Amino acid sequence: MGKKQLFEVKASETIDECLKRMDEQGYTPIRRLEKPIFKEEGDSVVPAGRQIIFEGKLKEE
């Protein structure tokens, strides 16, 4: 287990649930990343959602 880890908000959970999961594993969120998700429809590309990822830093005991 490293000092930093990425936690992705899963499709079946809320942001609060992801943050609670991070806390239970001993990490504190230090950065939030959002990546757009696109899909092709015919000849165009349209937004289809977003992926939310938190970077966590290991808590010091």
Q: What DSSP designation does 26 have?
A: T
Q: Which two tokens stand for residue 56?
A: 């966590």
pLDDT per position as a tens digit, 8-34: 999 899 999 999 999 999 999 999 999
Number of domains in the chain: 1
| pLDDT of 5 above 80 | yes
Q: Is 42 helix (H, G, I), strand (E, B) or coil?
A: coil
Find the domain containing 34 and state its range: 4-58
